[in-house]
Structures are given as structure tokens and as C-alpha cells.
Amino acid sequence: MIVEVQAKSTCKAESNTFEGFCVTKPPCRRACLKEKFTDGKCSKILRRCICYKPCVFDGKMINTGAETLAEEANTLAEALLEEEMMDN
């Protein structure tokens, strides 16, 4: 039996190709699009390029190593912390 699960949330990850401090959206967005994301924005505090795409469970999570998942969790934790700081 094959089960597909799709979530209606947004996944975030720091760009792997953007270099330097992120100041304006267009260069960040271009880098993210090249990395197969749907959008990119500069983080407000750390000035990093953060890429966005819809989250879906497509089996890739099963095939990735624990190191990759840990890195993704750290990146998401940093982004959530930054959002919390901006909301206060």
C-alpha cells in the first residue's frame, strides 16, 4: 500500500548558494529559485537568505541521513527563534 501525505505548511531553509549578507529580496529569491524553492527572503536579524517552499512528505525524508535531518531541524529552529524575536 502506498500512502501520500501532504501538508499545507511552508518549509524554510537557509540558501546554500547565496553568499554574503542578505539585504534585498531579489538576489535572495533568485538564489532560492535556482535551488528549487518557490521564494526567498532576507532574515531580518541575521541577514541570511532564507528559502521557502510548500512542505510535502514525498519519501525524500526517509532516504536522507540523520545528519541532514538534524541540520534541517537546526535551521528551522533558528528561523522560528528569529520569528519569535520579531513578534515581541
Q: Residue 80 sits in which domain range?
A: 57-87
Per the domain annotation, does 4 fall within a domain?
no
C-alpha angle 39/82/13, rounded to 5°? Answer: 35
Per-residue pLDDT tens over the stretch 53-86: 988 654 444 444 444 555 666 666 676 666 666 6
Backbone angles phi, psi at 66, to 5 degrees: -60, -30
What is the pLDDT at residue 9?
78
Per the domain annotation, does 21 fall within a domain?
yes
Q: Do 15 and 48 fall into the same domain?
A: yes
Per-residue pLDDT tens over the stretch 24-48: 999 999 999 999 999 999 999 899 9
Q: Do 15 and 51 fall into the same domain?
A: yes
Q: Do 49 and 26 fall into the same domain?
A: yes
Q: Do 51 and 67 fall into the same domain?
A: no
